[in-house]
Amino acid sequence: MTSIQTNGHAAAHAAPTIKIVPPEAPLRDVMNGAGRMEIPCLDHGFVALVDCMPRLVPEGKTADFAIVQSARVSYGEGTKQVSEDRGLVRYLMRHRHSTPFEMVEFKFHIAMPIFIARQWIRHRTANVNEYSARYSIVPDRFYRPDLESVRKQSKSNRQGGDEPIDVGTAEEFMKLLDNAEHLYKDYLSLTEKGVARELARAALPVSVYTEWYWKCDLHNIFHFLSLRMDPHAQWEIQVFAKAMYELLKPIVPVSAEAFEDYRLESMHLTRLEIEAVRSGKPLATDNKREQAEWEAKRERLGLK
């Protein structure tokens, strides 16, 4: 243990003593010394893990260690078995004790189309710093889906698309994207003539890419992932969410397993649905959306 000592009358005004305590056991880097870990997404995008907390953990443990440590309000983890740690993490996830999961944080560098960023930013529990088109010229990167990926508006989901649209209409849409991308040349020209970047950007479509750093704790990342990895989420944002999950899963494998078991692959039943299971009768509501959701759950449970 090393300390910084102060003495005499000046001590009252001096910096406090700082004790440097060495780790109780050898530590390892959960990112294995990597500066960043990156997965490409869509045509020009990516999700890159650039840092996490804790970055250093006792040998033989994962970053799940910080969750257990917080839950036990103890630093004497050496006497605990890994199996006991796993049981505690699963208990915390199962019973929705969220605070210990907030002790783990991840920082990502992400490039995505602006229309995806605007969905993403609705998750307001992260710290975000975005590329500024007020200060810098927007790079020439636009999202273009494959022709087969142009989707028809869903009849049951007002905010989404489902099956592919006919080829002729898809080709017409691709021409619309061509026209939108051609605005980029005019955007560059007008900024060179002196039009302010903060105003010139107004002419660019939401298919252009933006970037940001996004830092968030594990509890709120899991909430984001439970919504954005869902099959009902927009396909493009699912791509980014799945990439994010692949990057963090090896770092918190116990928490990820519990997340899959109790959140991602689980099912919430309402009071009316529980009564329907008990009685064997139809759902006691005239609401068509509730009825449709219940039928989907019954099918998943093998009750149809």
Indicate which residues carry an active-site annotation.
228
Residue 152 to residue 162: CA distance in whole angstroms? 6
Contact criterion met (CB below 8 Å) for 240 and 149: no
Three-class secondary structure of residue 1 per DSSP: coil
Encoding tokens for residue 46?
């990516």
Q: Is 220 helix (H, G, I), strand (E, B) or coil?
A: helix
Spatial contact of 298 and 273, defined as CB atoms under 8 Å apart? no
Q: Are 104 and 252 in contact (CB under 8 A)?
A: yes
Helices (H), 193-217: 197-200
State the Cα–Cα distance between residues 241 and 224, nearest whole angstrom.
Answer: 8
The backbone torsions φ and ψ at residue 163, rounded to the nearest 5 degrees and listed phi first, read: -75, 160
Can you tell me the distance from the alpha carbon of 258 to that of 273, in angstroms, rounded to the nearest whole number? 25
